[in-house]
Structures are given as C-alpha cells and as structure tokens.
Amino acid sequence: RLNSILNHLTPGKSGLSSITQKNPDDVVITLTIRTPLAKAFKGGFKDTPLDYLVYSLLKKVVEKSNLDPQMVEDISLGNVGDGKAAYIVRAAALAAGFPNTTAASSVNRFCSSGLKAVQDIANQISNGSIDCGLAIGAESMSAGGDRLAKPFHDDILQNQEAADCMQPMGQTSENVGKDFNISREAQDQFAAESYRRAERAQKAGWFDDEIVPITTTIKDPKSGEEKQVTLTRDEGPRWGTTYESLSKVRPAFPQFGDRSTGGNSSQVTDGAAAVLLMRRSTAQRLRQPVLAKFCGATVTGLAPRIMGIGPSLAIPKLLSKFHLNLQTDIDIIELNEAFASMAVYCVNTLGIDPDKLNVRGGAIALGHPLGATGARQICTGLSECRRQKKKVLLTSMCIGTGQGMAGLFVNEQL
C-alpha cells in the first residue's frame, strides 16, 4: 500500500507510466459479460421482467467467473426505471447462488448508472471496505420509463435550470443541435457510420466474447402463446443502413426541432451487463485472470438544457487528474451515442480520432438500456482493446438533468 501511495505522490511522473504500473492494491477487473441487447417493446426481452434479467446475468457470473460466490462481498446494480431495484438485486443474487453474506444495493445516476455502480464497488475496494465486489447495470425499458409523474414543487420551478431538468431528452438534443449548429446531415452521417461499424463487428463475431446467451420466455402479441427463446446476439444493428436511408426518416421531436430522428438517436433497449472487480492481490490469491485495471472515474455537471455535451467536460476533467493526453495516450474510446447531436459535438470539440471511437458502433446502432450502458461500454471497450492489443480505454456518457461522467481503464490482456 505504501508503494501505491508513493507512486501517486511522485512528482513529474508521466501519466501513462503511472496508470500502467501494477501494484497489489490496484482495483482490477476479472470478468466482464453482458446479455444481448434487445429492442424494447418488440424484441426478445419485451416480456422479461427486470428481476429475471438481473437473475439470469448473475447466474452467468457465477458460472463464468470460476469464483466461489461467497468471495463477492457486495453487489451494486445500476438501474434507472425501477424504484424496486434494491429489492430486485438482493433477491436475484440470493436466487442466483450468492450467499446471504453477499450484500446488495442499487444506484441511479441516469445514463451513467452502470459506470456509477462500477465506481462505487471500486471505491469500496480501494478504501479497504471490501476486497471483491460485483457491479451490474440492467434496464428493462419495455417495462416503462423514469418520467416524472408530476412537475416539481412551484418553489423549485422558479429556478430556470431546475425547471429545465424536466425537459424531455429529445428536446435537449434539439437544443444542442441548434445552439452549436450540428446539422441534420452531420448527425445522419454519424449515425450511418455507427450502423456500419456495428454491422461489421457483428458479421466478424467481435461481440462473441462479450455476450452470454440468455434463455427467456416471449409472448406472441396476437395469440398470447408463450414460447421459450435463447437470445445470443444484439437486435439493434440494421444491416445495410445508409446515410441515404437515414436522411428519409422524419424528425422524432418536431415540437422541438427537425434534426434528431429515430435513426440518429439511441435505440430504446432492454439489456444488462456485469463487471467483477477485486483487489489485485485478491485476484492473484484466488487465481483469477486480470482483464484490466480500473484507474478511476469522475463526474461533472452542466446546464440541464444541453445535457448531451456532458462528456466534453467530464473527459478533460478525468484526463487532467491522471495527466493524460486524449490524442496521444488513449487507445480506445467508448462514447455513449445518446443522440448524434451530442456525439458530433463531443467529437468535434475534443478532437477525438474517429478511428479510436466506438469501433463496434455505439448506442445509435446497438441500443441504450439506460442503467446498463455504463457497464456495457466496459465490456465492449475492453473486448476491443484485446482484439486490437491496445492498452488504454476511456468511456463516457452524457446524463439527463445536465451531467457527464467518464471512466478510465487499462487492458492487461495484451
């Protein structure tokens, strides 16, 4: 532990050499798996409740980790839409084979909930509260959303930014498009590339080491007949999608603007992802494979009405803490494509190299199950690091109500 502290205090040390060092107290990732991402309301998980989705993934963690479940001291579930998430994760964990000594809780920071769950478990490990924990993100968007049932109290609404927290996400996307002159054409071009990359990745089998098959029940909407199905691949990618086809899609939020469409916005999706974390010394003692090192994460706030540009603030904030340069030190970037408007803005503002960004496509093509995305990006990004034999992964997303979050990881499977 002393060496770890001294390394952090040593002045003038290159950021890259510092984060790639290996110390016994490092927080490391030993397993990352996810479900296929299914189209909400009409896809393979449309009749699968959140509790079964979480339970199924937890069973896969037990199966794949080669770890005695009693070693997992805490489980954190990132979820946005279900107020009963804390009940669900505790019961699902017990049913999946974790002992009653494994604690559980839920966390909600909207679209960053999966990364927030990872950060919470990692922080517990780094401060000595636990040695091993599991972060998961899960969302059944088929079950409904997280919309406010009624407006805020009148006293709160007297503050304009507080009132702006009630703006629908589509409105905030149109605000970004208008405020920063992100054209419909630029957004459609970005979306077409997301679809192209997802199609390429799916055809090449790049997602295969991320995804675990999930068996569930689906109901025929006409006959009501139920049948068992096993989902093995993402449903979002529409092969053959082009800029020309996307340019014909009507605006999704005509009351707010004419640039964001169903084709250049993230898909409404059901899915879940899991990240198993422990202290490096614990991983070595338990003979667990170290996939990556978790370096850290940070969050920032901004005006709610342009919440989409959050990553353009969170990414520099995170990189400055580690003395890293986005252009020279980062190998792979997973930026959540909530809307093409915010993605194009962030790419242009930060000067992101397109070749490093969302190599397998992003949420426009794959989908954005709100609570799961932060964990899903880690699964995808680390898998891509392994495929390319690259080291440093950066993940980031915008967050409803005007926030941004970013996470930093070092792949150790070179």
Helices 113-126 + 373-388 axis angle, to 10: 80
Name which of 255, 244, 282, 213 is nearest 33 in CA terms. 213
Question: Residue 84: beta bridge partners?
Answer: none
Contact 402, 302 (CB under 8 A): yes
Contact 231, 216 (CB under 8 A): yes
Question: Residue 214: beta bridge partners?
Answer: 231
Tell me how far apart the terminal alpha carbons of the chain are, to the nearest angstrom: 26
Look up residue 77 and give its DSSP letter: E
DSSP letters for 128-159: TS-SEEEEEEEEEGGG-----SSPPPHHHHTS
Name which of 202, 271, 220 is nearest 45 in CA terms. 271
HSE (side-chain half, CA atoms, 13 Å) at 153: 2
Please, what sign has the CA dihedral across residues 347, 14, 301, 138? positive
Contact 132, 282 (CB under 8 A): yes
Catalytic residues: 111, 368, 398
Contact 76, 121 (CB under 8 A): yes
